[in-house]
Amino acid sequence: MEIAAPDLSPLVSHLNPAQREAVTAPPEHRLVLAGAGSGKTRVLTHRVAWLIAAEGISPMSILAVTFTNKAAAEMRGRIEQLVDVPIRAMWVGTFHGIAHRMLRMHWKEAGLPQNFQILDADDQLRLVKRVLKSLDLPDDQWPPRTVAGWINAQKEEARRPQDFRDEGDFTQRQFVRIYTAYEQTCERQGVVDFAELLLRAYELTRDDAEIQAHYRRRFRHILVDEFQDTNTLQYKWLRVLAGNTGILFAVGDDDQSVYSWRGARVENMMNLSRDFPGCEIVRLEQNYRSTSTILNAANGLISRNSARLGKELWTDVGEGEPIQLYAAYNEYDEAEFVVNRIQEHLQGRCAPSDIAILYRMGAQSRVLEETLIRARIPYRIYGGLRFFERQEVKDALAYLRLLHNRDDDVSFERAVNTPARGIGATTVDKLREYARANGLSLWAAARHGAATLGRSGAKVQEFLGMIESMAVETKDFVLSKTTERVIERSGLREHYRKEKGEQAESRLENLDELISAARSFETLPDEPPLEGQPQLDPLTNFLTHAALEAGEGQAKPGEDCVQLMTLHAAKGLEFPIVFMVGLENGLFPHVRATDEGNLEEERRLCYVGITRARKRLYMSYAELRRLHGVEQISAPSQFLREIPPECIVETRPRAQVVRPAYAASGGRPTSGSSHDANAARTARTRLPDAMRETSGPGGLRLGQQVRHERFGEGTILQFDGDGDRARVEVRFRNAGTKWLMLSVANLLPV
């Protein structure tokens, strides 16, 4: 009696042809190039179910790798719904989770104690500090966060201290010396950090022939999600686990590879066909999320990238509304536009959580937050803190509050050893005891009780002297200048600059934005204060504003609210309505990325932003924006002219908007004469001209990379004049921004 074949139709009946091809592919290497919103999670889970149900593969022979524990749990749950066999034996998890599981099972072979402990980021930082102290290396010259980041980066490249030998300059040799001492300390204490988990598991399976053979026999099928986000070490480990017998099924999107600064290597996708012979590509191009207008915009933009495997997203959900593009006068006008449109949607059937505001730089949230608060629209910063709650902002405000009121104990405690200046917790405890015993503030206790502090008393006196000196120095300064000087003199800017990396850059941008925020309070409102209320000086007004902003606007737990986030944080999310703000050259694409030759990754980031929108997409740029404390005239982002013009409808700014007086009321643009408005329009780079691909003077284009004989390589920012008087502004990598006469500059395209 023949046994009836299992009915496999439920596994494939709801799949489109490309999804079905990927799910039912023969047991061979495959790269599934899954476009945004194309159902990659469905394909991955159905592929596992197909292997079990149709190919008869044991769940024990399957290894599924994801990038978050949440994704791993969801994958396991979906697979259990699709198949009738137990899948407990199947390994599903993140790279770090799988490495941890492996090391617990083979702790002896991995050279670890059985009860080894895992260091989180804070634990690792404390350990690095102890190592630096043991090597007599001062924190101010060797910032612990920088050192920890360097060590982790080496591990993610599979490099041990001995791999460096005597290479590099003095600084690198010192880093290797610290790395060596750090490793010895970890070995002695029986602890591993997160990067070590992965490196140790890789070395275990690479170097132990018996364990390697075991896992190659065990994991005949390896499935990996978000493959474009894998780093060097993760890719090497996958190659070791697969060997010549394992079958790799990778799902990813090279057009959404935006984490190179975290170590992700989009090249791993390009190398699959070389390292896994016979690996074929299946393209998932049908999008179930967005309208065809949004997808056409995304396709037109990303097609400008040369280093890509190539695909074309399409949908059958309809054309949808055109993208609205707003040319704002400045960042306040831009925020007003966004909030006005949000209010219109909220008056309809739209819920606040249907709306997201995306920006390139975290510091951009401040003006948006202020405008949302005034409009009484609840919001949440997704994956981050509101502007006035951010560490570096609170640090700078503590100094300003101490200038304003020496008896502010909370600000004294925050500022006294930030940055570190040798005034530890024990010293502060002694000050508290003295203050309580004598009924004094901490400031007064520090002045009168220095003798009780021993050797640290001199450090405290230096701190008091610095505050008094700053107070005298800034007595006649405008508020923004005071804020800038405090950030410099306190050492905060240098302190955060030493952190290096993306986080350090974000912190510095937030400090600059705080200077811009202070400038808004230099001109007091024209109207008199309400009856019974005093006329506050700019510093008091600003500090009051900061305190109130920190306590308002944030959504309550569970409250429906608008989402604000950086473009990086938006990856993997989707919203019916999306606002992308700040599309200006130098901001997006970011000047750093342009200067460092990472324009294609910036374009991928813009592609990610566009494809977050399901129904409506708004884009905006400001002609004037205060960046790093300086007001700048900005050209529209080159990405705007790379979007097919038929996808966009431009929304013109109000004719009465003129150059603003940044008032304490929030810095919104004020109305002025038609002459002023016309002058403002003459100064702007009109969008239709900016979006056309026509060349500027000398055949050059905005955003083009050029070379100058003396200044080296740079990026064209804007043009001025014509004929013999034509000038060009170029931001050079090593020489800064300069205006050059085109007739004599002899700029050569790169």
Quote the CA–CA distance of 464 and 184 in Å, as a whole number. Answer: 41
Say which of 226, 331, 354, 512 is annotated catalytic: 226
Catalytic, out of 156, 196, 225, 602: 225
Under 8 Å between Cβ of 328 and 653:
yes
Distance CA 621, CA 635 (A): 9
Catalytically annotated residue among 45, 124, 205, 256: 256
Closest Cα partner for 666 from 331, 428, 205, 189?
331
- Active site (annotated) includes residue 668: no
Tally Cβ neighbours within 10 Å of residue 169: 7
Q: How big is the CA angle at 635 (ends 702 and 706), to the nearest 5 degrees?
A: 25
> What is the rounded distance in angstroms from the CA atom of residue 627 to the CA atom of residue 363?
9
The CA distances from residue 119 to 104, 123, 343, in Å, are 15, 5, 46
CA 281/CA 252 separation, integer angstroms: 11
Q: How far apart are CA 11 and CA 54, in angstroms?
A: 10
Nearest by Cα to 225 from 248, 206, 247: 248
Catalytic residue among 40, 380, 614, 684: 40
Tokens of 358: 């995306």
β pairing state of 280-284 and 630-633: unpaired
Distance (Å, whole) CA 391 – CA 393: 5
Active site residue 500: no
DSSP conformation class of 228: G
* Tokens at 328, concatenated: 């704002």
41 belongs to the catalytic site = yes
Let me know if 612 is a catalytic residue.
yes
Contact 651, 324 (CB under 8 A): yes
Q: Classify each residue of 361-382 as buried b or exposed e, where b means 16 or more C-beta atoms within 10 Å of its C-beta.
A: bbbbbbbbbbbbbbbebbbbbe
Query: Token pair for residue 44?
Result: 């991955």
Beta-carbon contacts of residue 443 (< 8 Å; ≥ 6 apart): 402, 406, 407, 409, 412, 464
CB of 581 within 8 A of CB of 334? yes
Q: How far is CA 258 from CA 262, 593, 644, in A?
A: 9, 12, 23
Cα–Cα distances (Å) from 328 to 250, 413, 678, in that order, read 43, 42, 15
Question: CA 594 to CA 268: how far, in whole Å?
Answer: 23
- Residue whose pair of structure tokens reads 């043009």 in the numeric block: 719
Sorted by sequence, the CB contacts under 8 Å of residue 483 that are 6+ apart come out as 396, 400, 514, 515, 518
Q: Catalytic: which of 220, 360, 401, 612?
A: 612
Q: Is 638 helix (H, G, I), strand (E, B) or coil?
A: helix
Residues catalogued as catalytic: 40-41, 225-226, 256, 612
